[in-house]
Amino acid sequence: AGACLILQAESQHVPLIQAALDEYFAGQQAKSTPQATEANGLVDAILYGSLAQVSEGQAAAIRVRLVRRLTKPSTSVSVQNSLVEALVPLMSPEVAEETCKNFMQAMDKDSARRGSVLGMAAAVRAAGVGSVRKFGVIDWIKGSLGDKNSSKRQAGLICLEALATGLGRQFEPYSISLMPQLLASCADSAKDVQLAGRSATQAVVLQLSANGMKLLVKPLLEGLSDGRWRTQLSAI
């Protein structure tokens, strides 16, 4: 309801809305409970995100605010997902490219990796599917899936899932080409990578067209002949 109200607000009311939101956050500074952190994150994503769409003068500052919240270790998965949806309409192709580069540079920090991965996927969605190659994201995913560091392999799978879900069938050619790595990730020695692999594989399959399903047959049959039972199970 709050988001709808903000999006329909007339220009003269925008400063009043921002003042009310800023006042709310000023009163939240002393609270550090999980419930308060969750609520503050959702206010950033839903209300400030909506405010940015109707206030060109504040859009850049709010975008920075959302990015900062996205990469905080304390931000929950549900809030991160809301922040991603709020960020996509706030990025032009040029801003998306710069934002994607910044997220890539933040990947080395374990605490910020998941948020950075989701932010990178949001930047691709904002710029369009062609930016998957232009921004170097598909190469980054391939490199991550083959990395010795399990947390980086997991990050690659999270990014792949976010792109498959967010771009839908537009991402299909990339999804199919990565299916062997996806199936292999389900037999990974690290439990977190296994779970991320299964989740990403499910997201990819749910978005496939009829033609995509036909193209998927070969990598699935190859997965069935793999010696690792988890890969065989995922292929099934």
| Both tokens assigned to 7 | 């999006």
22: burial class by Cβ within 10 Å (0-12, 13-18, 19+)? exposed
Among candidates 73, 51, 69, 70, which has minimal Cα distance to 60? 51
Each residue's pLDDT, cut to its tens digit, for the chain (236 residues) gives 678 878 877 777 788 888 888 888 888 777 778 888 888 888 889 888 898 888 877 889 999 999 999 998 889 999 999 999 999 999 999 999 999 999 988 877 777 788 999 999 999 999 999 999 999 999 999 999 999 999 999 999 999 999 999 999 999 999 888 988 888 888 888 999 999 999 998 898 888 888 877 776 666 666 556 555 555 555 55
Residues in Cβ contact with 99 at an 8 Å cutoff, skipping those fewer than 6 apart: 63, 67, 91, 119, 123
Span 72-111, pLDDT tens digits: 888 999 999 999 999 999 999 999 999 999 998 887 777 7
Q: Does domain 92-235 have CATH number 1.25.40?
A: yes
Count Cα atoms within 13 angstroms, Cβ side, for 132.
20
Query: Does the pTM of the predicted model rise above 0.75?
Result: yes
> Domain locations in the chain?
1-90, 92-235
